[in-house]
């Protein structure tokens, strides 16, 4: 649902200008009269925009003198969060435009590039067209066999009936058992099966927020969440996150003190794009703040099973007040083509099951049954063991290559799980404008600015070690390095 | 997102009172002071509710004398629509509370019964627990085999990639070919694959409406649409529909003259719950009105392929101005467990594909490929031929049984396609309150009031002839008749 009122256009233009240092802290914005003249806008429109920015704490109105840029919040927290972040720092470049301050709550607009990347099926591959250089997977073969079996075993009459909205009870029981093994006391009834984690996040936000509410997210953070906030008409506050230790909870706290935040989306384990894992201390403090400020905590656990050395305990395990909404999926660690995810919405459980019913009725029974049998037979655990080891080896391949062959200044973290490496290039490098050029050379890159709604991280890039670093991908990396070295 | 403000509670209580003739046309509502006293509400709350009703044309404020009930709109159109409706009328009972007038736009709240019915998988069966009395289906066996084949043929690497958001190109080509055969000139690129028609309708409303917009629907009409309007915070205007000829387009016109309606959801072919098919003249007039009032026309084509004698041409075929959003699914005529539907959103195509991406990323490739192959091989057409004949025979079974064995006064239509018979019982019969009692006796009924947001059709009931009228179902029908004959 597009938002394109004049005052909103002006507002975001002004916010961008402030983020881009066109007007610095303490400086005066153009007068209302000037602005009307320059941009051919009515006085009401300009005033509306200025007053909204004032309400958001971005500018300050001084009687008889105009509107002035306020000091941006929590720069110090941000700075702290960025310290000691890079285990392979080869110089001291800063963290990229837009991540220098925590911007006030704002509507979201997401780059067309995301749509383009998804349409190319390129979310995690710099060479999506390539058909070689994939690791084989006995697990997938077994999974497909299990689904085929479920399909053959279905009574013909089954096609007359929808699955119950919450999903297959046996699959939900398998999920509950897995989480119980991870110290998270859940039962089958807690879960609702979805069409993947993206749908889980959608249901979580629909159930816990109302249009216009403010939602805190990690910055840099998953672009899928930013897209959801845009579509649901929610406002975003980006909380600085360290590529090693995840969301800066002190920064979250100061955001909570400034703004009426309704929900917080967090990926405690191996977050994309950085691979960060939330510190134990931060986990506890986050839950305390959630109680104190009555937050919905939306936990994106999609990478939780992809820890190379250990499986971090889900936040949900310590959720005393039933306000953590646990979201996950089999897409990253089993198959992106299954379209099976889950959500445990805690106190919003009833509402989420109703929303699932209303927006898609039900899920496919035979797929769930085949998957449940695969898990029950131990196929999933066996697959995960192989998968984790394979990913760890591939991470090392990519990291070593970057160390040895990337010609110029670069920073990146070495994640202990997940799929992503967060590359930081020198100031001035613009990965977003490089996207098109790379594409012409058959290479798809994932620019850093996709992971922020405030046009930050233009000098950053997400790489994924989901695939082996084949010769073809090494050539593609050379191409990228060359493109970005100018 | 629940709406439970006091003024809203009062507003709907008043609206119900007016619909229920507690206050008749021209009568004065209780004064603000009385209302504050009786209901323990603040003056602001009461005024807010009264002023909203005034804005909606339900009541009229007369200076110094209070608020008065306005004449309800288009009673005559309604009356006309209900004339000559029933091909098996055995007496002249009227059409049930709530359908006596077209209520002003209002927020929607849907009955818990819908959720209960869906959880019992009972949407189209009075005996959902029964495992016998189903017609066999060679088509389903062939379909499942085709999906199994697609699953085996998938390259293992496929599990690393998401399908493109719009869905499998080959399946979309099959859809386009089918619609071209029905006089609807579509191409693969026009379609986006969804998780079923419910999701298609959800995407259609998300893309074409903004929160608070007014949407016109058929009355009685599909409860899934009412649930969507509720969840998306849209207002509804219920347009009377004849069980034979569908939506009363004259009534739609007078609604368009009164209110700023943004979209119209219509089922031109074999609508649920009545089985009605829109008259040719109405189709043309609907499209003219859509142009005149800049409407989005959301066409629910889910029953289009289930015509016993012919396949009505989709509205979309005459859509000169690209404002018809065509929604459909394989759930009703092939399998409810496939979870595959489609949407052709016309001018909203880009927005819909983006919404699909944002709310669920992608669909399952192997299911789409198996289905596409099944269609291409002619399996679907062969299945449809058998299915249509089977349904026609079952319709006759049910209709004959109702004629011969239903003990007391009853009206119903004899649909020429689809799955539903709309039963109309004498005034005073309350099918909604009978729901619980029937359940205790192992029978699930679908009360008429589910098909309206204004608590109408309490004396109506939807039956489905999806299943053969087995001995067990005959007993269940006897139970229902006994329950409702009191």
B273 backbone dihedrals φ, ψ, rounded to 5°:
-90, 0
Query: Predicted confidence band at A221 (pLDDT cuts at 50, 70, 90)?
Result: very high
Mean pLDDT value across residues A87-105: 44
- Pick from A137, A162, A329, A472 the residue to mutate for testing the B interface (most B CBs within 10 Å): A162
* Out of B156, B199, B351, closest to residue A140 by CB: B156
Nearest-Cα residue of chain B relative to residue A341: B360
Chain A: closest CA distance from residue B217 (Å) = 17
Nearest-Cα residue of chain A relative to residue B365: A337
Q: Is A459 on the interface with B (CB under 8 A)?
A: no
Is residue A302 pLDDT above 70, yes or no?
A: yes
Query: Predicted confidence band at B413 (pLDDT cuts at 50, 70, 90)?
Result: confident
Strand arrangement, sheet containing B460-464: B411-412, B420-424, B460-464, B446-447
Mean pLDDT value across residues B436-443: 88
B44 in any annotated domain = yes
Is residue A36 pLDDT above 90, yes or no?
A: no
ipTM exceeds 0.85, yes or no: no
Calculate ∠ Cα A287-A293-A294, nearest 5°: 80
B422 backbone dihedrals φ, ψ, rounded to 5°:
-100, 110
B266 in any annotated domain = yes
Chain A: closest CA distance from residue B12 (Å) = 21
Lowest mean pLDDT segment, chosen from A310-319, B144-153, B166-175: B144-153
Helix (H) or strand (E) holding A271: none
A170: region left, alpha or beta (phi > 0 left; psi from -120 to 50 alpha): alpha
3-state SS track over chain B: CCCCCHHHHHHHHHHHHHHCCCCCCCCECCCHHHHHHHHCCCHHHHHHHHHHHHHCCCEEEECCCEEEECCCECHHHHHHHHCCCCCCCCCCCCCCCCCCCECCCECCCCCHHHHHHHHCCCCCCCCCCCCCCCCCCHHHHHHHHHHHHHHHHCCHHHHHCCCCCCCCHHHHHHHHHHHHHCCCCCCHHHCEEECCHHHHHHHHHHHHCCCCCEEEEEECCCHHHHHHHHHCCCEEEEEEEECCCEECHHHHHHHHHHCCEEEEEECCCCCCCCCCCCCHHHHHHHHHHHHHCCCEEEEECCCHHHECCCCCCCHHHHCCCCCEEEEEECCCCCCCCCCCEEEECHHHHHHHHHHHHHHHCCCCHHHHHHHHHHHHCCHHHHHHHHHHHHHHHHHHHHHHHHHHHCCCCCEECCCCECCEEEEECCCCCCHHHHHHHHHHCCCCCEEHHHHCCCCCCCCEEEEECCCCCCHHHHHHHHHHHHHHCC
* CB spacing of A115 vs B148 below 8 angstroms: no
* CB spacing of A361 vs B211 below 8 angstroms: no
Mean pLDDT value across residues A133-142: 73
* Out of A123, A351, A365, closest to residue B162 by CB: A123
DSSP 8-state assignment for residue A13: H
B353 in any annotated domain = yes
**Do A228 and A367 have their domain in common?**
yes
* Out of B156, B331, B354, closest to residue A115 by CB: B354
Q: Which of residues 121-140 of A touch B (CB under 8 A)?
A: 121, 123-125, 128, 131, 134, 136-137, 140
Q: Is B162 on the interface with A (CB under 8 A)?
A: yes
What pLDDT is attached to residue B134? 57
**Do B245 and B362 have their domain in common?**
yes
Residues 6+ apart with CB under 8 A from B222: B267, B271, B272, B273, B300, B451
- Pick from A136, A337, A379 the residue to mutate for testing the B interface (most B CBs within 10 Å): A337
Query: Predicted confidence band at B55 (pLDDT cuts at 50, 70, 90)?
Result: low
**Do A167 and A234 have their domain in common?**
yes
Between residues A354 and A21, which one has the greater pLDDT? A354
Nearest-Cα residue of chain B relative to residue A224: B358
* Out of B163, B207, B230, closest to residue A337 by CB: B163
A465 to chain B: which residues are within 8 Å by CB?
A: none
**Do B57 and B159 have their domain in common?**
no
Nearest-Cα residue of chain A relative to residue B227: A358
Measured CA to CA, the distance from residue B256 to residue B120 in angstroms comes to: 38
How many of the other CB atoms lie within 10 Å of CB of A182? 16
Query: Predicted confidence band at B78 (pLDDT cuts at 50, 70, 90)?
Result: very low
A159 in any annotated domain = yes
**Do B331 and B376 have their domain in common?**
yes
We report the CATH number of the domain holding residue B20 as 1.10.10.10
Measured CA to CA, the distance from residue A165 to residue A354 in angstroms comes to: 8
**Do A127 and A171 have their domain in common?**
no
Q: Pick from A349, A380, A411: which residue ends a domain?
A: A380
What pLDDT is attached to residue B93? 31
Measured CA to CA, the distance from residue B269 to residue B275 in angstroms comes to: 8
B271 backbone dihedrals φ, ψ, rounded to 5°:
-60, 150
Q: Is B337 on the interface with A (CB under 8 A)?
A: yes
Q: Pick from A69, A89, A123: which residue ends a domain?
A: A69
**Do B260 and B393 have their domain in common?**
no
pLDDT, one tens digit per residue, over B16-30 is 788 777 787 778 888
**Do A308 and A392 have their domain in common?**
no
Is residue B105 pLDDT above 80, yes or no?
A: no
Is residue B92 pLDDT above 80, yes or no?
A: no
Mean pLDDT value across residues A418-434: 92
Q: Is B383 on the interface with A (CB under 8 A)?
A: no
- Pick from B327, B360, B419 the residue to mutate for testing the A interface (most A CBs within 10 Å): B360
Q: Is B359 on the interface with A (CB under 8 A)?
A: yes
Mean pLDDT value across residues B57-74: 71
* Out of A144, A210, A354, closest to residue B154 by CB: A144
Q: Which of residues 68-127 of B touch A (CB under 8 A)?
A: 114-115, 118-121, 123-125
Measured CA to CA, the distance from residue B91 to residue B447 in angstroms comes to: 21
Residue with tokens 């990478």: A303
Q: Pick from A331, A360, A380: which residue ends a domain?
A: A380
Q: Which own/partner pairs from B437-442 qualify as long-range (CB within 8 Å, at least 24 positions apart)?
A: B437/B483, B438/B479, B438/B480, B438/B483, B441/B479, B441/B483, B442/B127, B442/B129, B442/B476
* CB spacing of A357 vs B118 below 8 angstroms: yes
* CB spacing of A118 vs B152 below 8 angstroms: no
Is residue A86 pLDDT above 80, yes or no?
A: no
Report the domain count for chain A: 3
Is residue B4 pLDDT above 60, yes or no?
A: no
**Do A238 and A274 have their domain in common?**
yes
A80 in any annotated domain = no
Q: Which domain holds residue A49?
A: 6-69
**Rounded to 5, what percent of chain A is helix, strand, coil?**
45, 15, 40
Is residue A154 pLDDT above 90, yes or no?
A: no
Instruction: Write out the DSSP string of A159-177.
Output: GGSPPPTT--HHHHHHHHH
Q: Is B228 on the interface with A (CB under 8 A)?
A: yes
Is residue A292 pLDDT above 80, yes or no?
A: yes
* Out of B118, B230, B466, closest to residue A162 by CB: B118
* CB spacing of A224 vs B157 below 8 angstroms: no
Lowest mean pLDDT segment, chosen from A30-39, A43-52, A89-98, A342-351: A89-98
What pLDDT is attached to residue A130? 56
Say whether A10 sits in a helix, a strand or coil.
Answer: helix
Q: Is B346 on the interface with A (CB under 8 A)?
A: no
Query: Predicted confidence band at A218 (pLDDT cuts at 50, 70, 90)?
Result: very high
**Do B122 and B208 have their domain in common?**
no
Q: CB of A225 within 8 A of CB of A265?
A: yes
Helical ranges in A157-306 per DSSP H = 169-181, 197-208, 223-231, 249-258, 280-292
What pLDDT is attached to residue A101? 59
* CA within 13 Å, CB half, B126: 28
* CB spacing of B202 vs A359 below 8 angstroms: yes
Is residue A382 pLDDT above 50, yes or no?
A: yes
B224 to chain A: which residues are within 8 Å by CB?
A: 358, 361
At A445, list the tokens.
Answer: 């890159």
We report the CATH number of the domain holding residue A322 as 3.40.640.10
B15 in any annotated domain = yes
Is residue B189 pLDDT above 90, yes or no?
A: yes
Say whether A185 sits in a helix, a strand or coil.
Answer: coil
Per cent of chain B over pLDDT 90 is 54
* CB spacing of A361 vs B233 below 8 angstroms: no
Chain B: closest CA distance from residue A123 (Å) = 8
Mean pLDDT value across residues B351-378: 92
Calculate ∠ Cα A5-A6-A12, nearest 5°: 90
Calculate ∠ Cα A207-A213-A219, nearest 5°: 95
Q: Is A165 on the interface with B (CB under 8 A)?
A: yes
Mean pLDDT value across residues B403-411: 82
Measured CA to CA, the distance from residue B165 to residue B358 in angstroms comes to: 9
At B73, list the tokens.
Answer: 């709109």
* CB spacing of B2 vs A148 below 8 angstroms: no
B148 backbone dihedrals φ, ψ, rounded to 5°:
-60, -40
- Pick from A161, A342, A354, A374 the residue to mutate for testing the B interface (most B CBs within 10 Å): A161
**Residue burial B255-264, b: 16+ Cβ < 10 Å; e: rest:** bbebbebbbb
Q: Is A142 on the interface with B (CB under 8 A)?
A: no
* CB spacing of B358 vs A141 below 8 angstroms: no
DSSP 8-state assignment for residue A242: E
**Do A60 and A15 have their domain in common?**
yes
Chain B: closest CA distance from residue A37 (Å) = 32
What pLDDT is attached to residue A56? 66
Chain A: closest CA distance from residue B315 (Å) = 24
A194 to chain B: which residues are within 8 Å by CB?
A: 360
Mean pLDDT value across residues A201-229: 95
B3 to chain A: which residues are within 8 Å by CB?
A: none
Measured CA to CA, the distance from residue B299 to residue B294 in angstroms comes to: 15
B87 in any annotated domain = no
Say whether A356 sits in a helix, a strand or coil.
Answer: helix
Lowest mean pLDDT segment, chosen from A16-25, A438-447, B194-203: A16-25
Q: Is A144 on the interface with B (CB under 8 A)?
A: yes
Measured CA to CA, the distance from residue A422 to residue A358 in angstroms comes to: 38
Residue B364's nearest CA partner among A221, A270, A364 is A364
**Do B307 and B450 have their domain in common?**
no
We report the CATH number of the domain holding residue B414 as 3.90.1150.10
* Out of A134, A147, A364, closest to residue B160 by CB: A134
What pLDDT is attached to residue B94? 32
What pLDDT is attached to residue A344? 98
The mean predicted confidence, pLDDT, of chain A is: 85
Query: Predicted confidence band at B408 (pLDDT cuts at 50, 70, 90)?
Result: confident
Mean pLDDT value across residues B209-234: 94
Is residue B328 pLDDT above 60, yes or no?
A: yes
* CB spacing of A359 vs B196 below 8 angstroms: no
What pLDDT is attached to residue B27? 83
Beta-bridge partners for A415: none
B404 in any annotated domain = yes
A365 to chain B: which residues are within 8 Å by CB?
A: 337
Measured CA to CA, the distance from residue A103 to residue A452 in angstroms comes to: 11
Measured CA to CA, the distance from residue A95 to residue A456 in angstroms comes to: 9
Q: Is B202 on the interface with A (CB under 8 A)?
A: yes
Measured CA to CA, the distance from residue A141 to residue B243 in angstroms comes to: 51
Beta-bridge partners for A417: A307
How many contacts does A have with B, using Cβ atoms within 8 A?
219
A195 to chain B: which residues are within 8 Å by CB?
A: 195, 360-361, 363
* CB spacing of A206 vs B161 below 8 angstroms: no
Q: Are strands A214-219 and A261-266 parallel, antiparallel or unpaired?
A: parallel
Is residue A76 pLDDT above 80, yes or no?
A: no
Residue B325's nearest CA partner among B485, B186, B120 is B186
Mean pLDDT value across residues A174-180: 95
What pLDDT is attached to residue A273? 95
Lowest mean pLDDT segment, chosen from B96-105, B194-203, B387-396: B96-105
Nearest-Cα residue of chain A relative to residue B135: A157
């Amino acid at each position: 649902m597009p938002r394109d009122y004049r005052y909103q256009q002006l507002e975001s233009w002004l916010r961008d200008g402030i983020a881009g240092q066109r007007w610095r802290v303490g400086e005066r914005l153009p007068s209302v009269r000037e602005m009307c003249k320059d941009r051919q806008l009515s006085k009401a429109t300009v005033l509306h925009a200025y007053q909204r920015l004032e309400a958001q704490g971005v500018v300050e109105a001084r009687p008889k003198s105009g509107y002035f840029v306020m000091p941006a919040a929590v720069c110090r927290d941000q700075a702290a969060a960025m310290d000691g972040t890079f285990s392979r720092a080869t110089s001291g470049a800063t963290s990229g435009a837009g991540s220098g301050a925590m911007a006030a709550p704002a509507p979201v607009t997401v780059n067309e590039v995301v749509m383009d990347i998804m349409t190319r099926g390129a979310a995690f591959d710099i060479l999506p067209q390539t058909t070689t250089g994939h690791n084989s997977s006995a697990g997938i073969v077994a999974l497909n066999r299990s689904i085929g079996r479920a399909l053959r075993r279905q009574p013909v009459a089954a096609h007359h009936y929808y699955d119950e909205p919450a999903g297959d009870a046996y699959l939900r029981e398998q999920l509950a058992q897995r989480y119980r093994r991870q110290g998270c006391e859940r039962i089958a009834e807690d879960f609702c099966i979805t069409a993947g984690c993206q749908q889980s996040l959608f249901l979580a936000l629909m159930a816990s927020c109302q249009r216009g509410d403010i939602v805190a997210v990690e910055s840099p953070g998953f672009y899928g969440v930013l897209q959801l906030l845009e579509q649901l008409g929610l406002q975003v506050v980006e909380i600085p996150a360290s590529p090693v230790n995840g969301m800066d909870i002190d920064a979250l706290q100061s955001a909570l003190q400034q703004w009426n935040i309704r929900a917080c989306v967090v990926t405690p384990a191996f977050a994309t794009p950085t691979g960060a894992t939330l510190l134990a201390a931060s986990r506890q403090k986050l839950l305390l703040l959630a109680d104190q400020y009555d937050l919905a905590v939306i936990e994106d656990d999609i990478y939780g099973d992809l820890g190379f050395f250990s499986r971090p305990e889900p936040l949900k395990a310590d959720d005393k007040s039933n306000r953590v909404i646990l979201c996950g999926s089999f897409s990253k660690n089993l198959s992106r083509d299954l379209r099976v995810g889950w959500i445990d919405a805690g106190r919003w459980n009833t509402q989420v099951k109703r929303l699932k019913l209303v927006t898609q009725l039900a899920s496919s029974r035979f797929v769930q049954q085949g998957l449940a049998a695969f898990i029950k037979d131990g196929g999933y655990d066996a697959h995960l063991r192989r998968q984790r080891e394979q990913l760890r080896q591939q991470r090392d391949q990519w990291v070593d290559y970057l160390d040895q062959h990337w010609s110029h200044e670069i920073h990146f973290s070495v994640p202990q799980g997940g799929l992503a490496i967060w590359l930081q290039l020198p100031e001035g490098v613009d990965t977003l404008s490089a996207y098109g050029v790379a594409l012409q050379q058959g290479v798809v890159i994932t620019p850093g600015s996709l992971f922020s709604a405030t046009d930050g991280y233009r000098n950053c890039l997400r790489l994924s070690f989901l695939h082996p670093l084949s010769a073809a991908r090494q050539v593609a990396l050379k191409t990228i390095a060359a493109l970005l070295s100018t």
